[in-house]
Amino acid sequence: MGNIKIFGPILNGVLAFPIFLAVLSDMANAGYPTPVEADWIAHDFVFHTGEVFPSLRIHYTTVGKSSGLPVLLLHGTYGSGKNFLSATFADLLFGPGQPLDAETYFIIMPDGLGCGGSSKPSDGLRTSFPRYNYLDMVNAQHLLVTEGLGIKHLRLILGNSMGGMHTWLWGVTFPDTMDALVPQASQPTAMASRNWMLRRMQVEMVIQDPAYMGGNYTVQPPSLKLANVFFGIATSGGTLAWQAMAPTSELADKLVDARLAGAGPADANDWAYQWTSSKDYNPSAGNGLERITVPVLAINSADDERNPPESGLEAAALQRVKNARLFLIPASVDTRGHGTTGNATFWKNQLATFLLSLPTSGGLYK
């Protein structure tokens, strides 16, 4: 979190509060309260495989007072709750007068099961760790919220990418536990097509690498960084933005070189488990979508490589949701394909309007 403490106030300060820069420099994060991290243990957690984990650790970060209106934010694959503490997210949303003002809201950002500081294969079990899926991850989040934090009802669940898919699963699995849903960079339809094929391929590239040693590697297999960079370029960034940034092979090489020079994922088993856990995602199965009655604001980018709107899948699925609407961010050189929604500039006004349109709470959150 060191970087955030340094960059948050400076970025926001220059734009909005130049006079208070010095004063704010020791106050956390662009004028919102200092994030607090903690662990909660779920005892005898049951995976969908039937395996029982005696002590499942769920790491989480919160911003704001626990008496505030509870909001759950769900991160993307190979991320953690702290991803939201960025210049393009928290600095645009959590401050005074901003849409998720931490004076009003209690913001809860869990690390998904298998991710960040939560229990994961690299803790020691490696490939003996249960093969979790998205429903296991959502069940763990639900236990954290209800048992760990004693919250009966959430004002809002907002998630991006994998977190967007988790948001849809909350809607179909626990439809009475929130006032509203904002799934981003996701579809409420089966994991399939190129999205799954490329997930499968990048995992195959790593687990078929002799250096992976069936999961018993002592150093990370070299294929891990290569596969991760390959998938990132193929499925995020935006067609128009890549063309604008890399109009020649030399400029394209520079972008590739920069990515290859960066740090790869920390652990091959954690990484492979996370991508594989999306395989059976399908909130549209049965009458799942019909169970969602709370207002839904789905936010996708028109150039999302993993959720291409031209498939028509999302539009058709949303017809089944009682009170849903889609904000489709038009593609431009400014959008970043699947990565677009990570920058709240593109949708914070729509979120603010949506939150104002929600019926006021009955105060039954705790």
Ligand X SMILES: *[C@@H]1O[C@H](CO)[C@@H](O)[C@H](O)[C@H]1NC(C)=O
Q: Which residues bind ligand X (CB under 6 A)?
A: 88, 214, 216, 334, 343, 345
Nearest to 119 by CA among 263, 223, 269, 265: 269
Task: Measure the CA–CA gap between 153 and 177, rounded to whole angstroms.
Answer: 5
Closest distance to ligand X from the beta carbon of 144 (Å) = 30
Closest distance to ligand X from the beta carbon of 275 (Å) = 20
Residue number with the shortest CB distance to ligand X?
Answer: 214
Would you say 323 or 345 has its CB closer to ligand X? 345
Would you say 221 or 283 has its CB closer to ligand X? 221
Closest distance to ligand X from the beta carbon of 331 (Å) = 12
Closest distance to ligand X from the beta carbon of 276 (Å) = 17
Would you say 18 or 214 has its CB closer to ligand X? 214
Would you say 54 or 214 has its CB closer to ligand X? 214
Closest distance to ligand X from the beta carbon of 284 (Å) = 31
Would you say 88 or 122 has its CB closer to ligand X? 88
Show the CA angle centred on residue 200, arms to residues 194 and 206, nearest 5°: 135
Task: Measure the CA–CA gap between 217 and 248, rounded to whole angstroms.
Answer: 38
- Who contacts 197 (Cβ-Cβ below 8 Å, separation ≥6)? none
Closest distance to ligand X from the beta carbon of 125 (Å) = 10
Would you say 179 or 270 has its CB closer to ligand X? 270
Closest distance to ligand X from the beta carbon of 214 (Å) = 2
Contact 37, 60 (CB under 8 A): yes
CB atoms within 10 A of CB 126: 18
Query: Which structure tokens are listed for 154?
Result: 């959430």
Residue-by-residue DSSP string for 218-258 = SS--THHHHHHHHHHHHHSS-HHHHHHH-SSHHHHHHHHHH
Task: Tell me the C-alpha to C-alpha distance, in Å, between residue 301 and each of 227, 244, 365.
Answer: 24, 18, 32
Q: What are phi and psi of 183, to 5 degrees?
A: -85, 135
Would you say 192 or 245 has its CB closer to ligand X? 245
From first CA to last CA, the distance across the chain in angstroms is 29
Q: What are phi and psi of 150, to 5 degrees?
A: 65, 30
Closest distance to ligand X from the beta carbon of 90 (Å) = 13
Strand partners, 109: 61
Would you say 214 or 363 has its CB closer to ligand X? 214
